[in-house]
Structure 1
């Protein structure tokens, strides 16, 4: 299947076309939520470990674990980090692909970080902060920066703002996943990797199958740093097949 056929199929995907007709569910009070969040943070070993290792967020350990197991990143790689704020994945990437030139004997990679929120500077990372990845204009800016270069990996820890309505949140998450996949297909070199976060739902298998049309190996991954009570998972595509022209 070529990209045109794939996008036509995606545009008709029922999970993304259903109209929202339900009323919003009543949320918990801010006070209760804040207390629960604080309690969880204080008892989370990854939070303390992130502080000790100077990572901006505990999520750094998710990417570290995935790369340690599947070896999708190496020095010299060009990588796009989508949904990068506050920057912990970009910190990992800068060191792993050597875009920060921490090892002068290794090839120097490139890391591009994009997020709607502001991202404070990270050594060796080209930052596109306060920009909506799903915007055509934003994607044009990324293409201009790449200047016809292809990327070795696209990684996304992006998530939508939660509404509290599960199926609506899942649909919004899937829209983001497909947006990242569509762009990855345009800019990836053959045998590149693709990593995207989503919330497990009834459409997970369909997304997995769609990724498998373009990547030889697809794996559902849940790193140990992902909270056990979370529906968060990652889909990892390896060995990009390239697009038929």
Structure 2
């Protein structure tokens, strides 16, 4: 696969994605379904994902983040939370060389988990039908790690929308903190963390909390994230380690 931001930009500079596609079989579909289909057909990242054999367009968000911040490298151990349909796992496998596609002594390990069932990704260990937020699921991941520490924890998770904005924001923040607590328990020193959330008044608090445990925290909106979407990502780099972070917190307090 080996997709970089530059290759994505080269694709968008060509005319191949500009040809308009006329949606068919719209009869009988709801207005929201029609709008979704029209948006998909007009989205160049959807076409690019198909061309690159990526499972969905969200892969390009992680590609952009990794090209910029270098959160994945060959030989890394990665945990992908909320992985379905597997596009972030595909990127993680490629960039850590977990699929042994490159001749190198640095072979990564990728573990992916999701409540939904999705097809296996070559080079990754996949746990389907498991709710990451449960103690049982996290224990399964720890057992699979078998003493290894993670170099990167990824989360593209989002809760099912209720339509109530405040409740949806609270739910996704709860997911972020669940991922953070897990990452603190299983990460190696200098490990990285990437979490998705929706813009809301609590983002700054999460940034501050991440800053207690990671050297660098950055709020990111990838180019491949739709402009009308409230999603953003927090990229936390270089885990300080619990002992050092807690000691620093006591001094500051």
Superposed displacement of residue 139, structure 1: 0.5
Q: How far does residue 161 in structure 1 lie from its aligned partner after superposition?
A: 0.3
Matches within 5 A, 1:1-245: 31-244=30-243
Report if aligned partners of 1:118, 1:129 keep a CA contact under 8 Å in 2. Answer: yes
SS state of the match for residue 228, structure 2? coil
2: distance between equivalents of 1:119 and 1:96?
Answer: 21
Q: TM-score, normalised by structure 2?
A: 0.84
Residue 7 of structure 2 corresponds to none
> RMSD over aligned Cα, in angstroms?
1.0
- TM-score normalised according to structure 1 size: 0.87
Q: CA deviation at 1:106?
A: 4.3
Once residues 190 and 119 of structure 1 are traced to their aligned partners in structure 2, the CA distance between those partners, rounded to angstroms, is 31
Q: Distance in 1 between matches of 2:228 and 2:95?
A: 29
| Regions of 4+ moved over 4 Å | none
Residues 111 and 125 of structure 1 are in contact (CA less than 8 Å); yes or no, is this contact kept in structure 2?
A: yes
Q: Measure the CA separation in 2 of the matches of 1:181 and 1:77.
A: 19
- 1:14 corresponding residue in structure 2: none
What is the alpha-carbon distance in structure 2 between the residues aligned to residue 38 and residue 92 of structure 1? 25
Distance 1:145 1:208 in 2: 29
The answer as to whether partners of 1:118 and 1:130 remain within 8 angstroms in 2 is: yes
Q: CA deviation at 1:105?
A: 2.1
In the alignment, structure 2 segments of 5+ residues that lack a partner are 1-28, 247-253
Q: Which has the higher contact order (CA 8 A, sep 6+)?
A: 1
SS at match of 1:96: helix
1:106-158: CA deviation from partner (whole Å, max 9, x where unpaired)? 41000000000002011100001110000001111111111111000001000
Q: Deviations over 1:77-120 (max 9, x none)?
A: 00000010000000011110000000122410000000000020
For this pair of structures, how many residues does the alignment match? 216
2: CA distance, partners of 1:237 / 1:184:
11
Distance between the aligned counterparts of 1:120 and 1:171, measured in 2?
Answer: 30
Give the Cα–Cα distance (whole angstroms) in 1 for the partners of residues 120 and 31 of structure 2. 34
